[in-house]
Structure 1
Amino acid sequence: MEKYHVLEMIGEGSFGRVYKGRRKYSAQVVALKFIPKLGRSEKELRNLQREIEIMRGLRHPNIVHMLDSFETDKEVVVVTDYAEGELFQILEDDGKLPEDQVQVIAAQLVSALYYLHSHRILHRDMKPQNILLAKGGGIKLCDFGFARAMSTNTMVLTSIKGTPLYMSPELVEERPYDHTADLWSVGCILYELAVGTPPFYTTSIFQLVSLILKDPVRWPPTISPCFKNFLQGLLTKDPRQRLSWPDLLHHPFIAGRVTILTEPAGPDLGTPFTSRLPPELQVLKDQQAHRLAPKGKRSRILRQACKRMAEEAKQKKHHNTGPALEQEDRTSKVASGTAPRPRLKATPQEPGLLTGILASEVKSSWAEWGAGEAPPAPRESWIAQDCERAFPELKPEVEGQRSLDAVDLENEILKGVLEGASRILPALRVLSSLLSSCSDSLPLYSFCREAGLPGLLLSLLRRSQESTSIQQQCWYGTFLRDLMAVIQAYFACTFNLERSQTGDSLQVFQEAANIFLDLLGKILAQPDDSEQTLRRDSLMCFTVLCEAMDGNSRTISKAFYSSLLTTQRAVLDGLLHGLTVPQLPFHTPPGAPQVSQPLREQSEDLPGAISLALAAICTPPVGLPDCWEAKEQVSRHLANQLTEDSNPLRSSLISGLEHPILCLHLLKVLYSCCHVSERLCCLLGQEPLALGSLLKLVQSKVKVVDWEESTEVTLYLLSLLVLRLQDLPSGMEKLGTEVAPVFTHSHVVSLVSAAACLLGQLGQQGVTLDLQPTEWMAAATHALSAPAEVRLTPPGGCGFYDGLLILLLQLLTQPGKGDLIRDVAGSEMWTVLWHRFAMALRLPGEASAPEEEPSLSSPQSPEPDWTLISPQGMAALLSLAVATFAQEPQLCLSHLSERGSILMSTLKHLLSPSFLHQLGQAPQGCEFLPVVVLSVCQLFCFPFALDVDADLLDGVLADLTASEVTAHLLQVCCHRLPLTQVELPISLLTRLALTDPTSLNQFVNTVAAFPRTTIPFLSVALLGDQPLLTSDLLSLLAHTIRVLSPSHLSFIQELLAGSDESYRPLRSLLGHPENSVRARTYGLLGHLLQHSMALRGALQSQAGLLNLLLLGLGDKDPAVRRSASFAVGNAAYQAGPLGPALAAAVPGMTQLLGDPQAGIRRNAVSALGNLGPEGLGEELLHCQVPQRLLEMACGDPQPNVKEAALVALRSLRQEPCIHQVLVSLGASEKLALLSLGNQLLPHSSPRPASAKHCRKLIHLLRPSHST
């Protein structure tokens, strides 16, 4: 303290006091913040230290600078810049600021936040009170008590900090949040500076939470379009769609005005919030947010408010016990002799505490309205479900009729008694709050059942419409609005959707919906000049009812929407009639009397509600397919109305396409109807007015309330027209030129996706697209990496990204795009693309981690998000991958060989049985499943088609083996593909099995585990008309016999024998017209005959089968002759009973001794050697076999043939007759010369293997061995 003079106190708060001071021996004026230690917990002192540490490292002109900090015995002192005042004071004095001054403040606030977020610091308490005024008109951000510097591993936060008026929706709902919560607060501050109040302002915390979560921002007419667009971006309720870095810097409202200080980042700073997250970190962030998301909808903010209300209610109840009991006694007397009254049961300690809270809310409501005034229409407020934990639970005492009090109250209302109105209006408001806020379905439904809801509400509505006296009361309009708000809140309750929570809630809900539709039909049938408010409010309620039906079961939603075409036709007719009734003109003609703005807004309320209701019954909700079929029936009915030439509906609808409020809803109606009516598409394609309006919407020449969504629906509608017409509508020749900038320059992901969808359709119609590669690659990267909000199903049931993928496929597969493919394959877009695909597939585990070994019985994986990428989109993406890797095959290899590669993980998942089952169940899944499987197989074939390093190939094989790809390939061929399309998967399976023993075992184990499906498939495939498929299978079976033990071979025997054991399959294969098939069949037989006694017996017993085997010896194809001679040789080896039958093979084998191919000669020599011990000496002598073998042993040019001949002679000499012939031929002398030649070889040359056999045979032919 000896460094400073303390001058005067300038502020005081819960933290302590702030004094103006001056540094000694200088003119520097400072602010000294004295924070007492006494009474503060260890945690509070640690937080204070953290605040000081954060502030110490901050250096920015728009952030208050901490000059010093120190501690005394009793206090912590923080010394900062001295400011001239608070921004909040200007608001209090001046009300609001001009927009140009707000713009200056906005740039400085964004500068300060950019600095904080670039250092991974969240402020978490942005509000006008924390913005100080510096000298020269600048501002400085202060108060870092809630600030948090986030580590590199922390992507989101969950602790609730800040001031409720400036809290973002995710904060008040206690969902995980990130830096975008600060940006929401900036939007609130700037709105307050320009308008004078925060965007969501009320004195009730319940109403505030409701406003933040539900209500749209109300925009004053004085605000400029640029500023409004800036605030709309910041005040977007969905944090994923909120305007954020880096796009925020480039917004026209602040572009070029933001001060960015560049500082070297620390080694462990991590990715700053001001940069777009890499795909792998975005995946990690999404997983962290999902893990930390609250399991319920409990709000700590509302819970604290409820506790305060509970305390107040207890105190009031304590002071008013006498009157309450007296009133209860009177009630009991009145109710005696009637049906027991259902009432809320309270615990003995706290009688009627919930009632006290509701009464407290009612009283505060009356205080807000003012004495003697009829209450205005309430804004829905929220009560936390935790109230029920603080108060007695809702328990029915007795089930019975509605309470007598309720009946009396209803009668009072219907008689027009003002006292009844004074009692019902506050009660309706509280009911609306309770129904809107409580998310615990069971107690809320119990409360509704005890209170007679919704029957009481609908009865009041019905009888009020029948009573003329009540309709003349001054409070009638308010009563109807409040009543409709409660009915609307009831229809929005979640217990109408949760089938497991309450036994009869759905039945009550359905009955209430039918009663409401009856009333709605009568309300819509009222004269056109009658009061519009009730019709508007009832239609808004109807829209909420439709939303509830969309989320319900198929049976319930179908019954509801079908009734609009049958028993509740009056509702649909009333809507269509209302759309064609002339309203006040949207644009007043010159010279016409001016209409006041309030009257104009009122006149447009009803058409807006009608168009919204029509859109609600037509538009299929994203991700809720159970109601689509029923809604299509309604859309088909509307489409029929729109295509009638005499019906004015089409012209009325088209005329509203440029209306600022009606536009979006009417576009949705047209879009839904065009989906089910090709005739309507043709009519719109010939309607210049409609096409002109659509083109203006694309060009942003029409001012509409929901510009983004309206443009998105317009783009999809145009895509649908081009798709259905298979042509460009007349007058739309420059459509591609108009849409291209939306695709390349929009920062709204949904618009980029919709524009890509339209451009893809135009490309398929031959329209030349002038798109620069750098621009469309940047647009695609942004669209794939930024969070997306799917609001509408694209044409043809496509996924959100399908249009973009189809467009990319078109752009990259045009002739002469080789260099472009190379650029794309090495770009960020390529990586982002596969990460987005993996997210849409909901791949199990993190993409960076090696996938665990799955099994055929592994549990079901999460179903892919078909709303993001449909089967058609998957097919397009995989076709794009095949085209890219065909141009850059080495890139494919590097991706597949990389451990934990996102590409490898994705491709393996696409072959898993669980995914293929999900794909088969998806819309259009069966159509695109073969494309998906075949594309994956093509990609997996690349390593086998390249000259690959052995270690690299082993790594790929190990990855595929660990995921049991071989087993999956066999299963997909058996269950998912037609026979005409299994050739490629079987080829890949064969290659894997031939290369890797584990893959071969997986194949055999799969056959053994599922014989009823695999063996019939293999049998049909073997005998099909696809030679390559048959050849691959024969090679696979032969390799199985060659490598595995004989115990695995029974299924191969079964395949060749056939179900009737007639060996028809084997006969067919031996007589196949293709040489390769015959050759591999003989080879398979050769391996099988080594182990199968059954096959040897069949050759002996089955007529003609042996002849077919021997026929191959004389085949014209050398490969067939070689395999046939190999098979006969193995048949002769230990032939047993088959031996005599093989005598017919001797002439053919003898003839093969002169074959030009050494392999055939060697097989023939070995076969003849095997026949000697079978007692066929006479046949061998007849064909002069000994002479021929002796000649080959001495003179064949191939050493291996010589060796085989010597071995054969050693075997044949055991027959006495053959021994004598060999002696008579001078075999010993000839072989002695051969042996001498071997001895004369240089010592450095290796001795041939035949030398040993030669010496042995000479020895055996000596006279001493003749006996």
Structure 2
Amino acid sequence: MLKDSKFHARLNTRIQNSSTQVLDGMLEGAAKLKSVLRIITNLITLKCDLKWILTFVKALSIPQQPLKMIHNILSKPTVRQQPWCQQILIDLVITVNAYFASEVSWNDDIDKEVGQLYLNAMTEYMSLVPKLLNVSSDEDLRLREQVILCSMYTCEAMERDKLKIGNQYFTHLAAKETDAIDAILACCKLEEARLKKLIELTDGNEDMAGERMDMLISLGVTTVAAMVNLPLTADDAVDGRRKIGHYLGDKMACKGNEKQTDEFFMLLRHPLFCTNVLKIMYACCQVSTTLCSYISNQVQHMDSLMGILMGKVEIQDMEVNSVIEMILHIYSTIVIQLQTMPTAITDAASVMISIFLESTIASHTAAAALVFSQMIYCGLTVEVQPEEMLQACLAVFTDLQQICVRCPFDYGVLDGLLLLLCEMLAQTEGPVAQMYIETGIWGTLWHRVAQALQVINLETDTPIHDIDQDGENVVGFNPPDWTLVSPQGLMAVLQMAVTVFTKETNQCIPNLAVPDSIILLTIVHLLHKDFLSSVYNGFHCDGPQLTADMILEVTQLCCFPFAVDIAEELLHQVQQCLFNASLLPRLIFCCTKYLKNEQLEIPINLMLRLVLGSQQFLKQFCKCVKEQKTVSLLTQCTQSTSSTVVSDVVSICSHLVRMSPQHAPFVKSVFHGSKGDYDPLSKLIKHNSATVRSRACSLVGNLMKHNSHMYGVLKQREKLLNGLIAGLKDEDPNVRKGSSYAIGNAAYHNGDLYVKLKPCIPLLVELLRDPVSKTKANAASACGNLGAHSNVLCLELKKQKIIPRLLDLACHDQNQGVQVNAILALRTLSQQDELKKEMMNQKAVDKLNAISVATTPRPLSRSSKSQSLLINSFHSNNGSSSVVYSHCSKLVKMLQGKG
């Protein structure tokens, strides 16, 4: 029949003929239309292949024809006066409802066109609702019943979310069909005139009439609740429902509506209506501050809520848990919306805390925790023993099977507990962090967070599942379950973690040294590109800030192993785990994609620690350079207003080029500037931060460590070379050290820069007296290099008395590294005849021979061997002396013409 086109044609003919008769006021037409509508209704509601239903409704223009017929009947006063009008309207509404409840709204595979037709039908029907609910002939309210039922079924169809049009539907109702909402809401109150008529119709049976009226009120309340109530599992219609809730909330709190609003909320005290009225109150309060204010100022309504909580209203057993949860969430919502504690809630604080501490139902404890946390935020002072608090929290973390109600404002179920734990850690004196670890709540908390975030096991690429249950493995990233832990709750966990890591560092760092540690896996997961994308794009205007905050907290946690003294082996294990978890590539991605310049300080510092700490991180970093836009990131960092960021980036680049010349092109690309003139590097060498200046000088030195490719740049860019020369007389010792190292390398490979380096010589002579041994050693090497390739600077070197200064260092300096460098410099300079002659004039051989005698290694005597344990440093000192002796001997032979 559903596929029979001839049958369809006969039905169409009958519908057309009977409809015409109905509109002409003919009883015969009404009878015929009634029978054909019943056939259609029965066929539409069959459980069968969807395409047959779609073929049938399209052939008969369902529900367009019934909707049009309803509209025509309501527009004709003569038809409305017919005694059979009520029944034909009921039959038409039932037919429309049959379409809404058909397979169309139950099927996952629906075309957009079908969905649009369904949406159009719902909106057209709702436009008729105000008139349908006020038909004068509807004395027994049977039409009202069917009209409200049909309205409710549209909401239930949207809750199934198969058609993906729920948000459009509810948004349309809030914007265009508020008359329908008002009309249904008006049916949620006792109407004396209607009740009196029902009593007459039931032959004076007041109980039967009362039950009928209660049932209709309940139906109206249920329908309004279905429009605004947010299901536990989020769907696409959340925003639309909130818009309806906002409209209703503001309407009920509007001046002039107090009587109707108070009557409506007094239904809370009636067992039949209580649950759905709570749903409406809860949903509307979340989006209407004015309603929160109104309710909090009405003692009768606050008393109703407390009365329900204390068991004064008989609630069905299966609804008790959700009702208590809802009331606790209403309290939270009022406090959050008003940002203050209404007197009624302050008076009820002890009850909230008792529920939190004593309830054996996890959902109640979790809901009470959110109220409790908001009370504390508003300044309520409560004394609760940490042990009791932890015990209550632990009970919830290990039992999350009973949650019935969605938390307010997109909070997660665990958020209240996490906020409380975070607050307790911050305010309570004593070893609370240690208590967290010892009671087991610390580990259990991380397991629950990992479960909520769908943290991935790095080896299997599958989510870590509930600690109590096994689940079906789904490979790859899965979106987080924000209903369990919201971003705000996650931030509380991270802030808590930083505090616990700070107070119990030695107990926490080992968690980062175990590959399958739940804390390590969760922390690294927070930097997963898909996770960050879900936060950034999933929370409107708050997304970017949330993303950045999470990255910074995670980065801070990862810095702990490098910020404290820990065993070398443990540090190595941490490094290996962080390497295997791809922390560095993820960190680079975060810095490039999500962080602003002013947020880069901690991440870049961690990047530096990783690159400096291990060769494998260095290779990983270089790989990332090719795969990500790292050059632009580092270039951007060199222009940062934070000297810490600048110096850390310079250090990373300096380390890269020091380790291998193959990294030089990349490093140069970071600093060569938009014009290729290395102006950024020149500016860094003259930076107002001494740390930046010193590291920039060292960077230039390292760029010249392996070859002379940088010499051409220094030849052409006088600003850069002049900056290095100026660094030799900088007031900061580290700048002088870095600059002397760079100048030495500028003369190491060849003599191309000798002429330009001539002004350095008097400054290097001064540095031979520098209090920092490394600077003296660098200066000595630089002096030697200035005479290594030609005699161009010999006259100046002689004039500045380099030879006697170096001899003095070689003979008398207390640091053997300085001695060795001075001797090596003299050996290099001795290749130039003029300078060799100067050495002879300075009696260099005699002076050096005196050093040789003083530093000649001597074998241990028997007695000294027996006491060797008393002089632990002998061997190291003797080794250093041997080096000095060896170089000294070679120089003497060269001067004597024997080398």
- Tell me: CA distance 1:1263–1:877, structure 2 relative to 1, closer, same or farther (3 Å): closer
Helix, strand or coil: the match of 2:759? helix
Alignment of 1:765-784 (within 5 A): 765-784=378-397
The equivalent position to 2:3 in structure 1, one of 344, 347, 370, is: 344
The equivalent position to 2:845 in structure 1, one of 1220, 1228, 1239, is: 1228
Q: Does 1:927 align with 2:545?
A: yes
Superposed displacement of residue 1133, structure 1: 0.7
Q: Does 1:807 align with 2:441?
A: no
1:1121 — aligned with what?
A: 736
Q: RMSD of the alignment, in Å? A: 3.6
Q: Does 1:912 align with 2:528?
A: yes
Equivalent residue letter for 2:211: E
Which 5+ residue runs of structure 2 have no aligned equivalent?
196-203, 465-473, 862-877
Equivalent residue letter for 1:874: L
Helix, strand or coil: the match of 2:187? helix
Q: Does 1:1207 align with 2:824?
A: yes
2:227 — aligned with what?
A: 617
Q: Does 1:764 align with 2:377?
A: yes
CA contact (8 A) 1:1023 1:1069 kept: no
**Normalising to structure 2: TM-score of the pair?**
0.86
Q: Does 1:669 align with 2:291?
A: no
The superposition leaves residues 738-790 of structure 1 with CA deviations (integer Å, 9 ceiling, x where unpaired) of 11232233344333222111111001112133444454434323323334466
Helix, strand or coil: the match of 2:753? helix
Alpha-carbon distance in structure 1 between the residues aligned to 2:412 and 2:670: 44
Superposed displacement of residue 989, structure 1: 1.6
Helix, strand or coil: the match of 1:1161? helix
Alignment of 1:795-834 (within 5 A): 795-818=408-431, 820-834=432-446
Superposed displacement of residue 490, structure 1: 3.3
The superposition leaves residues 293-340 of structure 1 with CA deviations (integer Å, 9 ceiling, x where unpaired) of xxxxxxxxxxxxxxxxxxxxxxxxxxxxxxxxxxxxxxxxxxxxxxxx
Superposed displacement of residue 702, structure 1: 2.7
Alpha-carbon distance in structure 2 between the residues aligned to 1:1056 and 1:847: 39
- Tell me: CA distance 1:580–1:399, structure 2 relative to 1, closer, same or farther (3 Å): closer
- Tell me: CA distance 1:867–1:489, structure 2 relative to 1, closer, same or farther (3 Å): farther
2:468 — aligned with what?
A: none
Alignment of 1:991-1030 (within 5 A): 991-1011=609-629, 1014-1030=630-646
Alpha-carbon distance in structure 2 between the residues aligned to 1:481 and 1:845: 58
2:885 — aligned with what?
A: 1251
Q: Does 1:945 align with 2:554?
A: no
Which 5+ residue runs of structure 1 have no aligned equivalent?
1-341, 346-395, 587-593, 853-857
Alignment of 1:1058-1207 (within 5 A): 1058-1091=673-706, 1093=708, 1095-1173=710-788, 1174=790, 1175-1207=792-824
The superposition leaves residues 824-850 of structure 1 with CA deviations (integer Å, 9 ceiling, x where unpaired) of 223343333222212211233599999
The superposition leaves residues 788-830 of structure 1 with CA deviations (integer Å, 9 ceiling, x where unpaired) of 4665443332222222221222233323141x43232233433
Superposed displacement of residue 1091, structure 1: 4.2
1:335 — aligned with what?
A: none
1:954 — aligned with what?
A: 572
The superposition leaves residues 1140-1187 of structure 1 with CA deviations (integer Å, 9 ceiling, x where unpaired) of 111111111111111222211111111100110242111100101011
The equivalent position to 2:241 in structure 1, one of 609, 623, 631, is: 631
Alignment of 1:81-230 (within 5 A): none
Alpha-carbon distance in structure 2 between the residues aligned to 1:506 and 1:926: 34
Alignment of 1:251-650 (within 5 A): 343-344=2-3, 402-404=11-13, 415=27, 427=39, 430-431=42-43, 434-435=46-47, 441-449=50-58, 453-455=62-64, 458=67, 472=83, 487-488=96-97, 490-493=99-102, 495-496=104-105, 500-502=109-111, 504-527=113-136, 530-549=139-158, 556-565=165-174, 567-579=176-188, 582=191, 596-624=206-234, 626-647=236-257, 648-650=259-261
Alpha-carbon distance in structure 1 between the residues aligned to 2:771 and 2:457: 60
- Tell me: CA distance 1:1018–1:899, structure 2 relative to 1, closer, same or farther (3 Å): closer
Superposed displacement of residue 432, structure 1: 7.0
The 10-residue stretch of structure 1 (1114-1123 or 497-506) with the greater mean CA deviation from structure 2: 497-506
Alpha-carbon distance in structure 2 between the residues aligned to 1:433 and 1:783: 44
- Tell me: CA distance 1:1093–1:1221, structure 2 relative to 1, closer, same or farther (3 Å): closer
Alpha-carbon distance in structure 2 between the residues aligned to 1:446 and 1:845: 49
CA contact (8 A) 2:245 2:284 kept: yes
CA contact (8 A) 2:707 2:749 kept: no
Helix, strand or coil: the match of 1:895? helix
Superposed displacement of residue 651, structure 1: 2.1
1:377 — aligned with what?
A: none
Alpha-carbon distance in structure 1 between the residues aligned to 2:475 and 2:785: 54
Helix, strand or coil: the match of 1:813? helix
CA contact (8 A) 1:554 1:626 kept: no
Alpha-carbon distance in structure 1 between the residues aligned to 2:857 and 2:481: 79
Superposed displacement of residue 689, structure 1: 1.9
- Tell me: CA distance 1:1215–1:583, structure 2 relative to 1, closer, same or farther (3 Å): farther
The superposition leaves residues 970-1018 of structure 1 with CA deviations (integer Å, 9 ceiling, x where unpaired) of 111122122222211222221111112222222222222233xx33332
Alpha-carbon distance in structure 2 between the residues aligned to 1:520 and 1:759: 43
Alpha-carbon distance in structure 2 between the residues aligned to 1:1108 and 1:859: 56
CA contact (8 A) 2:45 2:103 kept: no
The equivalent position to 1:654 in structure 2, one of 252, 262, 265, is: 265
Alpha-carbon distance in structure 2 between the residues aligned to 1:850 and 1:507: 38
2:449 — aligned with what?
A: 837
Equivalent residue letter for 2:603: P
Equivalent residue letter for 2:793: L
- Tell me: CA distance 1:580–1:1146, structure 2 relative to 1, closer, same or farther (3 Å): same
- Tell me: CA distance 1:970–1:1153, structure 2 relative to 1, closer, same or farther (3 Å): same
Superposed displacement of residue 568, structure 1: 3.3
Superposed displacement of residue 646, structure 1: 1.5
1:873 — aligned with what?
A: 489
Superposed displacement of residue 1200, structure 1: 1.9
The superposition leaves residues 242-301 of structure 1 with CA deviations (integer Å, 9 ceiling, x where unpaired) of xxxxxxxxxxxxxxxxxxxxxxxxxxxxxxxxxxxxxxxxxxxxxxxxxxxxxxxxxxxx
Alpha-carbon distance in structure 1 between the residues aligned to 2:656 and 2:773: 26
CA contact (8 A) 2:45 2:99 kept: no
Helix, strand or coil: the match of 1:1114? coil
CA contact (8 A) 2:761 2:797 kept: yes
Aligned residues: 854
Equivalent residue letter for 2:638: L
Alpha-carbon distance in structure 2 between the residues aligned to 1:917 and 1:418: 60
**Normalising to structure 1: TM-score of the pair?**
0.62
- Tell me: CA distance 1:410–1:834, structure 2 relative to 1, closer, same or farther (3 Å): farther
- Tell me: CA distance 1:851–1:408, structure 2 relative to 1, closer, same or farther (3 Å): closer
CA contact (8 A) 1:1027 1:1074 kept: yes
CA contact (8 A) 2:2 2:43 kept: no
Q: Does 1:691 align with 2:307?
A: no
The superposition leaves residues 875-920 of structure 1 with CA deviations (integer Å, 9 ceiling, x where unpaired) of 1122222222322223322322233122211111101111111111
Alpha-carbon distance in structure 2 between the residues aligned to 1:1239 and 1:816: 63
Superposed displacement of residue 485, structure 1: 5.8
Superposed displacement of residue 450, structure 1: 5.1
Equivalent residue letter for 1:1019: T
CA contact (8 A) 1:790 1:867 kept: no
Alpha-carbon distance in structure 2 between the residues aligned to 1:513 and 1:827: 55
The 10-residue stretch of structure 1 (790-799 or 806-815) with the greater mean CA deviation from structure 2: 790-799
- Tell me: CA distance 1:668–1:442, structure 2 relative to 1, closer, same or farther (3 Å): same
